[in-house]
Amino acid sequence: MLKPTLATWQSRAWTATSAIVLKNGYRDVYRGGYQARVRYAYVARGVRRVSDRVAFGHADTFFWKTSLNAFLAHYPKGRRIICYVDPRNADRAVLNRAFSWYNVVIGVGAALIGLFIGASMLTTYAGMRNSIDGSSSN
């Protein structure tokens, strides 16, 4: 979850570049979800390049087909769009730089679970230490 969030954050500094949609569609993913697919071409450093990265993480995944169709309506074949190109690696481009709430929720949940486990271990250790210290003074 950290890697897509970090990539999303880094892409905020990438160069806005004109692109053209070559095709769009979707693929079925787990339990009835849909992943948007958009293939687009852009020119970076004088070279024509093609990418299909819509977003990092799950920002390109939809649970309702109506939401998917609304998203894909922005990317019909032939439309001029803006993609964002990594200035350090012109082969890396992305359309959507928005954060995925899925990644944020999972990341915060994992952090809270880790915090709970850590606090429980410290409490257990402190209790064991107190019982050992208390029994050795008798």
9 vs 70 pLDDT, higher one: 70
Please tell me the predicted confidence (pLDDT) of residue 47: 98
Please tell me the predicted confidence (pLDDT) of residue 123: 76
Compute the distance between CA of residue 51 and CA of residue 49 in angstroms, rounded to an integer: 7
Query: Which range is least confidently modeled, 1-5, 63-67, 84-88?
Result: 1-5
Predicted confidence (pLDDT) per residue in 86-135, tens digit: 999 999 999 988 755 554 555 555 556 767 676 677 777 766 777 776 66
Please tell me the predicted confidence (pLDDT) of residue 72: 96
Q: Tell me phi and psi for residue 69, to 5 degrees.
A: -65, -40
Q: How many CA atoms lie within 13 A of 133 on its CB side?
A: 6
* Res. 2: pLDDT tops 90: no
Q: How many residues does the chain have?
A: 138
Compute the distance between CA of residue 116 and CA of residue 109 in angstroms, rounded to an integer: 11
Q: Does domain 10-97 have CATH number 2.40.50?
A: yes
The domains of the chain are located at 10-97, 100-138
Please tell me the predicted confidence (pLDDT) of residue 137: 54
Predicted confidence (pLDDT) per residue in 31-52, tens digit: 789 999 999 999 999 999 999 9
Task: Calculate ∠ Cα 3-28-104, nearest 5°.
Answer: 30
* Res. 26: pLDDT tops 60: yes
Predicted confidence (pLDDT) per residue in 4-15, tens digit: 667 777 778 899
What are the residues whose beta carbons fall under 8 Å from the beta carbon of 46, sequence distance 6 or more?
none
Please tell me the predicted confidence (pLDDT) of residue 10: 78
